[in-house]
Structure 1
Amino acid sequence: MEVGTYFGVGEEWLALAAIALFFLAMILCLEFGRRLGQRARGRQDDGPVGVATIDAALFALLGLLIAFTFSGAAARFEGRRELIRDEANAIGTAYLRVDLVNAGAQPVLRQNFRDYVDARLSVYAHVTDPVSTRAAVAKVGQLQATLWRNAVAAAGATPGPQASTVLLPAINAMFDMATTRMVAAQAHPPRVIYFMLGFLALACSMTAGFGMANGNRKREWLHVMAFSTSIAMTLYVIIDLEYPRVGLFTISHADQILIDVRNSMGTAPR
């Protein structure tokens, strides 16, 4: 799978363009609905009847779908930030347990750890560059193999079972956290949900415009702009939260805890 799928590379401009077009589409639907309402009122003295229930059902469904989608996006955003903390804790714990192996094997293992953390930070440092990100992901895999091989050899050369039973599980947990973060980066709702949101928003725009029809043909621009802007911005925030490495809301600041762990290892701190 492409690295861009993990992190939303290139999604920020696509999202902005889509939201801008969607905003204009909502205004057009409001105007189209208003004109339909004008025609309906011209044919009926009492105006359209029996549509309030349908309007309420459509807006309730739109609100419910937005609420669930927004809640899920916010939860995933927070979960990804917590995973950075968990990975930093796992790396710090494994690094401390290097003390359990023979002193002669420790320098190599400690350098392996430094290289590994540098590679992990590089994965998320330039997510807008798919080539660099793919190279960083590949390097992480190579360093995992090297670190594990050296850790197994060091634990085997250390008297007693303590190094094997304490160090190796900690390193394995550290690798598992890297995989968990990668899987979490791919966790997004099916795109059909976003299409459904867009369809409902446009449908509600038409019904709202229909209800705003009046005899003097006056357009309620304040209400039109307020409704269109509110829905469009809400959808943009949802998309932005789903791709937290680009856009307005990012979790890049949470990487500082991993940088602090790397700096605690010494030798050319970042």
Structure 2
Amino acid sequence: MIKSYDSIWMFSVALFVLLIVFMRFGYHLDRQQRRRSGDNDNNGVSHINGTVSTLIGLLLGFTLSGAATGFQQRQVLIAQEANAIGTAYLRLDLLPKSAQAPLRSLFREYLQARLDTYKAPAGSPAAHTAYLQSLRLQAALWQQGTSAALVTNNTAIVSLMASALNATFDMTTTRLVAARTHPPLIIFIVLFGVALIAALLAGYGMASSPKIS
């Protein structure tokens, strides 16, 4: 799984270089074959090249469609987490006055930790540190929030506070899973392989193309 922008750039550069290498290899392969046989007919390779190009187009279309769907789902999860945090923050009004200020301060720290998690580059130490900080704050919020709710001796307040905190914390796991969900590695391997085959066939066909004087 590609975890950082540096890895994406390395992957892209490697693919670009290999495409050029395979095109050159196909070009020289065809030149050598025609020198030996003296046959310039390349219709069969042209048909195969068209088929492979169609295949890679379909694979790219399905992959991009899946990536776009995943991106939209992650955008929805951002809104859902923001709503969950907002609901839990508002329900602090149900707790005793003495407990509200410390809990609001914890919530502000928790919100900042969640923002820092996704502001940092994916897979970076900064993102991991911010994520662990959010988990520690979750434990503190749950302990202090439920304790303050129990002090009221009101089961409705306890239920409302616990459900709001639980929904807020559940979104952390939901977003983490969504962020780590990508097309299977085999898809990228197939795309990589088909692209190299297409480059090889394209180079093979270029050698017999008529030259413009």
TM range (shorter): 0.7 to 0.9
Q: Distance in 2 between matches of 1:71 and 1:129?
A: 24
Q: Which runs of 5+ in 2 are unaligned?
A: none
> What's the % identity of the aligned pairs?
39
Once the two structures are superposed, the pairs formed by residues 125-144 of structure 1 within 5 Å of their partners are 125-127=119-121, 130-144=124-138
Deviation at 1:128, TM superposition (A): 6.6
Structure 1 residue 160: deviation in Å? 2.6
Is the contact between residue 41 and residue 47 of structure 1 (CA under 8 Å) also seen in structure 2?
no
Q: Establish whether residue 33 from structure 1 lines up as the match of residue 23 from structure 2.
A: no
Which of 14, 17, 21 pairs up with 2:10? 17
Equivalent residue for 1:268? none
Answering whether residue 79 of structure 2 is matched by residue 85 of structure 1, we say yes
Report deviation, 1:195. Answer: 2.1
Seen in structure 2, the aligned counterparts of structure 1 residues 20 and 135 have a Cα distance that, compared at 3 Å, is closer
Partner Cα distance (1:78, 1:167) in 2 = 30
Q: Structure 2 CA distance, aligned partners of 1:46 and 1:133? A: 58
**What is the aligned length?**
211
| Contact in 1 for aligned 2:22/2:203 (Cα 8 Å) | yes
- Which whole-Å CA distance do the structure 2 matches of 1:44 and 1:129 have between them? 55
Indicate conservation of the 8 Å contact 2:142/2:165, yes or no. Answer: yes
Q: Give the SS at the match of 1:114.
A: helix
- Corresponding position of 1:198: 192
Query: Displacement, 1:129?
Result: 8.1
Q: Following the alignment from structure 2 to structure 1, what is the Cα–Cα distance between the partners of residues 113 and 209?
A: 67
Cα distance in 1 between the residues matched to 2:141 and 2:209: 77
Distance 1:197 1:23, change over 3 A: same
Instruction: Point out the more displaced range, 33-42 or 196-205.
Output: 33-42
State the shift of 1:38 in Å: 2.9
Residues 115, 158 of structure 1: CA spacing in aligned structure 2 closer, same or farther, 3 A cutoff? Answer: same
Distance 2:144 2:121 in 1: 30
TM-score (norm 1): 0.70
Shift of 1:166: 1.5
* Alignment match, 2:48: 54
1:49 shift after superposition = 4.3
Q: CA RMSD in A?
A: 2.4
Residue 142 of structure 2 is aligned to residue 148 of structure 1: yes
Cα distance in 2 for partners of 1:57, 1:79 equals: 33
CA contact (8 A) 1:105 1:154 kept: yes
Say which SS state the counterpart of residue 50 (structure 1) adopts.
Answer: helix
- Give the 4+ runs in structure 1 shifted more than 6 A: none
Are the aligned partners of 1:119 and 1:139 in contact in 2 as well (CA < 8 Å)? yes
Name the CA distance, whole Å, in 2 between partners of 1:48 and 1:40.
11
Is residue 73 of structure 1 aligned with residue 67 of structure 2? yes
Q: Which runs of 5+ in 1 are unaligned?
A: 220-270
Q: Deviations over 1:215-258 (max 9, x none)?
A: 76x59xxxxxxxxxxxxxxxxxxxxxxxxxxxxxxxxxxxxxxx
